[in-house]
Amino acid sequence: MTAENTPARIGKSVVIRGEVKGSEDLIVDGRVEGTVNLSESRLTIGPNANVAADLSAKDVLILGQVKGNVVASGRVELRAGCQVEGDIRALRLAVEDNAVFRGKVDLTQSVSKGHDSQTATQAGGIF
C-alpha cells in the first residue's frame, strides 16, 4: 500500500493530451498538452517534462519546460534550468538564477475564485 503523502507521477515516457484534474499532489515528468487543474494540491513539473498546458494548482514547482499560463493560489517556484513561456498569477513567486521566463507576472492577494480571503490568510507564511 502506498503512503498517503506520496504524490502521483506521470513518467517521462507518458504523453497526455486533454485535461488532467485531481485532488492529490502530482509530479509531471512526461509530456502534457491541454490543462492541468489541481486546485487543492501541489504540482511539480520535473526536469524531463515538456508541458504545453495551462496549469492551475495550490503550489507549482517548475524544473522543466512549460508553455502556458500558470495560476497558483499559493506559491510558484521557477528553478534553475527551467523554461517557462506564459503568464504567471500567484500570491508568491520565487525565481532561481538561470531560470528562463517569458511572460507577465501578477502577484495578487486574490488568485482563485471562491475562497480568496481564506486562502490568502492560510498562505501567509514563508516556505
CA gap 92, 27 in Å, rounded: 20
Mean predicted lDDT score pLDDT of the chain? 86
Query: Is there a domain that residue 96 lies in?
Result: yes
* Enclosing domain of residue 93: 8-103
Chain centroid to CA 14: 18
Between vectors from CA 37 to CA 31 and to CA 42, what angle results, nearest 5°? 85
Dig out the grid coordinates for 115 from the structure.
Answer: 475562497
Query: Is there a domain that residue 53 lies in?
Result: yes
Sign of CA dihedral 13, 31, 70, 41: negative
Query: Is there a domain that residue 1 lies in?
Result: no
82 near 64, Cβ under 8 Å? yes
Query: Is there a domain that residue 119 lies in?
Result: no
State how many domains the chain has.
1
Query: Is there a domain that residue 47 lies in?
Result: yes
Percent of the chain past pLDDT 70, that is, above it, reads: 82
Query: Is there a domain that residue 109 lies in?
Result: no
| Of the candidates 108, 109, 127, the residue with the CA atom closest to the CA atom of residue 118 | 109
Query: Is there a domain that residue 12 lies in?
Result: yes
Specify the pTM. 0.82
